[in-house]
Amino acid sequence: MVRCIFMPNGCRWDEQREKYFERLRAHMVQTQLRARGIKDERVLKAFMEVPRHRFVLPENIKEAHEDHPLPIGFGQTISQPFMVATMTEALSLRGDEKALEVGAGSGYQAAILGKLCKEVYAIERIPELAERAKRTIEELGYTNVHIVVGDGTLGLPEHAPYDAIVVSAAAPDIPPALIEQLSDGGRLVIPVGSQYSQVLIRVTKSGGRIKREEICACVFVPLIGKYGWQEDVAW
Ligand code: SAM
């Protein structure tokens, strides 16, 4: 039986609830993203449209729009909204790209990319997280976002090359496969550094040449895999 509760103003309860989360998103976009220098209007619009509260655990729903990462289970996190926005803006997306995300986690970053790119592939090494992210993405009606289980340090050669690659976990160095799988003119954004702190790097490939730029300091959970950290590393 589906229960439908109507509020005094005639709105259904779930509509009221979604309007409430929409207001929280608008506040998040204004105070955490726009006010801190995120300028790309397409990126800001995507953050308004993607319901972040659908990607967090039920016990964290009240904190979904707060200015910090949140646990998503299995020792992993959904990244801080500003960090997701910074990485997304650094990819300079126009709308016609094929993108790859390494470290799909909750699926939130992939959903943001889904609003800004033509096609998105997102790899997650923990099958349970990948399954949950896939379900959320499907429930929200995306047809251009594909969640895959695997070791993202190897990239995803079957769909390469990618115009944009974002790595959402901390790497000791840039996995060579990701540079190989970048198209000419493609952009790769990745946190590189030690186990405790990293620098967000943007790599641009042009005419076979690689340009590296530092964006900002950051702290991510480890990228674990063949060209990342080993699983038994002490954190
Ligand atoms: N972008 C995610 C989101 O929006 O929820 C958050 C990502 S979380 C900070 C990092 C994720 O990277 C974790 O879910 C972790 O399991 C995953 N990960 C770590 N190493 C990986 C690898 N080699 N391949 C794929 N995923 C990996």
66: CATH = 3.40.50.150
Question: Is ligand 1 within 6 A of the CB of residue 155?
Answer: no
Q: Note the pLDDT of residue 147.
A: 98
* 165 CA → ligand 1 middle, Å: 13
- Amino acid found at 28: M
Q: Note the pLDDT of residue 9.
A: 57
CA distance 17 to 1: 20
Q: Is 84 helix (H, G, I), strand (E, B) or coil?
A: helix
* 15 CA → ligand 1 middle, Å: 32
CA distance 41 to 69: 23
Ligand 1 atom nearest 109 alpha carbon: 4
Q: Note the pLDDT of residue 10.
A: 60
Tokens of 7: 């509020």
CA distance 126 to 129: 6
Number of domains in the chain: 1
Ligand 1 atom nearest 226 alpha carbon: 23
* 31 CA → ligand 1 middle, Å: 26
In a domain, 224, yes or no: no
Q: Note the pLDDT of residue 234.
A: 47
In a domain, 194, yes or no: yes
11: exposed, middle or buried (Cβ count in 10 Å: 0-12, 13-18, 19+): middle
Q: Note the pLDDT of residue 231.
A: 85
Question: Domain range spanning residue 212?
Answer: 13-218
Burial 78-92 (b: 16+ CB within 10 A, else e): bbbbbbbbbbbbbbe
Q: Note the pLDDT of residue 12.
A: 73
Question: Is ligand 1 within 6 A of the CB of residue 132?
Answer: no
Pick out the chain residues at pLDDT < 50.
1-2, 234
Question: Model's pTM, two decimal places?
Answer: 0.94
Active site residues: 79
- Amino acid found at 12: R
* 43 CA → ligand 1 middle, Å: 21
Residue 30 CB coordination number (10 Å): 12
Phi-psi region of 15 (alpha: psi -120 to 50; beta: other; left: phi over 0): alpha
In a domain, 136, yes or no: yes
Question: Is ligand 1 within 6 A of the CB of residue 220?
Answer: yes
Q: Note the pLDDT of residue 7.
A: 54
Ligand 1 atom nearest 111 alpha carbon: 4
